[in-house]
């Protein structure tokens, strides 16, 4: 504001809050919808270009509000069509956003935190430690930026048809910023994506899975990675707080809140660690008869890791053993390898900061 008060950041505000903002300016609620269309559907950030708002309102907005734009460090294009952007996130840190084009869809993989405190043993982001939560504006601006840069599909549809929270960070440890972003992704005044095409991936912050199920009916992916507690305690340490039984109960509750909804379980294939016949059988017993799909992820190595990826033959057999008994199992194709855009490799090379462990400090309640 001209009197020195900080301007209100409008990017990332959900519709209800934007309506309250306009009400404070003495404006009608539909102004919020107009503004959302300008920002998210037309990619306009300059209030002067918002021609269906009165000149007086545009002046008021210029004085009291701002619409942030992200600082892009770099863009890399992979030979397989995958695109990776690096966004500046302060103090020499960066987060990454990856676009993966496929014949029938285009998936944008976004980050929710700078680093991650949950410290999964096989994850480059975990090895980097936790730096901070991203704001809703910083998260949604990854989508705005990708949509603005990517050409439409040949059939005229937007390049981004799906959004997954599978970049850096644990989205349910940054719940308060993630929910407004989810609202904008599915809002008809913003990105208008179907709820089924927006996926939150979590390593299992159970209380926030329940909250999410009540507040925002999007798709859920759960990083299981091990079929028993001793192994999962070791490779996904949040398991010590929310063990497998508790996690799976929360999954079935989530699925039960929304008809026809399956939970996707992610399972990273680690050679000699979680990839035996016995592991497959244990996994089958956990998931059989429940609304579950399984997605096997070939482990993506990064410098300093103790793990190796299971062989293609082991993955094929593991998949076959479960599929033969009726489980829906897919194996993820690794994309963007040549630009380090594959799962768990994100921003692994940006910084060698000292690890900061915040697990004990209430990450689950953020
Ligand atoms: N924190 C969330 C979302 C981000 S990680 C979660 O853990 O679900 C997205 C997916 O990538 C998770 O399933 C995660 O376990 C997986 N992943 C992490 N490191 C990986 C690696 N090195 N290779 C393959 N997948 C990895
Ligand atoms: Fe965090 Fe997910 Fe990596 Fe685990 S796998 S350290 S929860 S980003």
CATH number of the domain at 193, please: 3.20.20.70
pLDDT at 357 over 80: no
Residue 260 alpha carbon to ligand 1 centre in Å: 25
Does some domain include residue 217?
A: yes
Does some domain include residue 76?
A: yes
Does some domain include residue 365?
A: no
Nearest CA to ligand 2 atom 6: 126
Crossing angle (nearest 10°) for helices 206-215 and 244-257: 0
> Are 168 and 280 in a shared domain?
yes
**pLDDT score at 341:** 64
49-53, 139-143, 342-346: least confident range: 342-346
Q: Is the CB of 126 under 6 A from ligand 1?
A: no
**pLDDT score at 353:** 35
Q: 44, 66, 88: which is the final residue of a domain?
A: 66
pLDDT at 1 over 60: no
> Are 35 and 182 in a shared domain?
no
Q: Is the CB of 96 under 6 A from ligand 1?
A: no
Section 119-135 average pLDDT: 94
58-67, 147-156, 256-265, 331-340: least confident range: 331-340
For the CA of 168, the nearest atom of ligand 2: 8
pTM reported for the whole predicted model = 0.92
Does some domain include residue 20?
A: yes
> Are 284 and 350 in a shared domain?
yes
> Are 53 and 119 in a shared domain?
no
Does some domain include residue 28?
A: yes
Q: 66, 85, 103: which is the final residue of a domain?
A: 66
**Dihedral of CA 14/19/25/27: which sign?**
positive
Q: Is the CB of 170 under 6 A from ligand 2?
A: yes
Q: What is the pLDDT of residues 158-179, one digit of tens each?
A: 999 999 999 999 999 999 999 9
Q: Is the CB of 119 under 6 A from ligand 2?
A: yes
Does some domain include residue 366?
A: no
Does some domain include residue 363?
A: no
d(CA 198, CA 78): 24
> Are 15 and 127 in a shared domain?
no
Does some domain include residue 79?
A: yes
Q: 28, 47, 66: which is the final residue of a domain?
A: 66
> Are 44 and 161 in a shared domain?
no
Q: What is the pLDDT of residues 31-44, one digit of tens each?
A: 999 999 999 999 99
Q: Using most ligand atoms within 8 A of CB, pick from 174, 198, 266 the residue to mutate for ligand 1.
A: 266
Domain that holds residue 34: 9-66
Q: Is the CB of 125 under 6 A from ligand 2?
A: yes
71-75, 171-175, 279-283: least confident range: 71-75
Q: Are 184 and 14 in contact (CB under 8 A)?
A: yes
Q: How many structural domains are present in the chain?
A: 2
For residue 46, the domain's CATH number is 1.10.150.530
Q: Tell me the pLDDT band of 297, cut-offs 50, 70 and 90.
A: very high
> Are 28 and 101 in a shared domain?
no
Q: Is the CB of 167 under 6 A from ligand 2?
A: no
> Are 135 and 255 in a shared domain?
yes
**Dihedral of CA 40/43/46/51: which sign?**
negative
> Are 113 and 199 in a shared domain?
yes
Counting ligands in written order, which one lies closest to the CA of residue 171? Answer: 1
**pLDDT score at 348:** 43
> Are 83 and 54 in a shared domain?
no
> Are 116 and 171 in a shared domain?
yes
Q: Using most ligand atoms within 8 A of CB, pick from 173, 174, 268 the residue to mutate for ligand 1.
A: 268
**pLDDT score at 6:** 86
> Are 22 and 139 in a shared domain?
no
């Amino acid at each position: 504001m001209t009197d020195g008060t900080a301007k209100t950041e409008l990017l990332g505000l959900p519709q209800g809050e934007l309506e309250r903002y306009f009400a404070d300016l003495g404006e009608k609620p539909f102004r919020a919808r107009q503004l959302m269309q300008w920002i998210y559907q037309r990619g306009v950030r300059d209030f002067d270009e918002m021609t269906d708002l009165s000149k007086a309102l545009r002046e008021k907005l210029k004085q009291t509000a701002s619409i942030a734009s992200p600082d892009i460090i770099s863009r890399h294009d992979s030979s397989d069509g995958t695109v990776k952007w690096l966004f500046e996130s302060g103090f020499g840190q960066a987060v990454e956003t990856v676009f993966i084009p496929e014949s029938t869809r285009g998936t944008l993989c976004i980050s929710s935190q700078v680093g991650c405190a949950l410290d999964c043993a096989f994850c480059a982001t975990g090895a980097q430690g936790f730096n901070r939560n991203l704001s809703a504006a910083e998260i949604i601006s990854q989508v705005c930026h990708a949509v603005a840069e990517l050409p439409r599909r040949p059939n005229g549809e937007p390049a981004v048809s799906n959004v997954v929270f599978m970049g850096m960070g644990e989205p349910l440890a940054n719940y308060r910023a993630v929910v407004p972003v989810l609202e904008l992704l599915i809002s008809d005044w913003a990105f208008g994506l179907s709820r089924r095409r927006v996926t939150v991936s979590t390593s299992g912050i159970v209380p926030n899975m329940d909250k999410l199920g009540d507040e925002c009916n999007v798709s859920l992916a759960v990083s299981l990675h091990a079929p028993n507690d001793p192994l999962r305690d070791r490779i996904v340490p949040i398991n010590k707080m929310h063990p497998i039984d508790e996690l799976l109960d929360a999954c079935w509750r989530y699925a039960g809140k929304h008809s026809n909804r399956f939970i996707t379980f992610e399972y990273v294939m680690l050679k000699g660690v979680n990839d035996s016949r016995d592991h497959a059988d244990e996994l089958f017993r956990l998931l059989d008869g429940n609304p579950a799909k399984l997605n096997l992820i070939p482990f993506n190595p990064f410098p300093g890791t103790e793990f190796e990826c299971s062989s293609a033959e082991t993955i094929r057999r593991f998949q076959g053993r479960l599929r033969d008994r009726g489980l829906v199992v897919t194996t993820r194709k690794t994309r963007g390898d040549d630009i380090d855009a594959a799962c768990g490799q994100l921003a692994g090379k940006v910084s060698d900061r000292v690890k900061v462990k915040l697990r004990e400090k209430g990450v689950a309640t953020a």
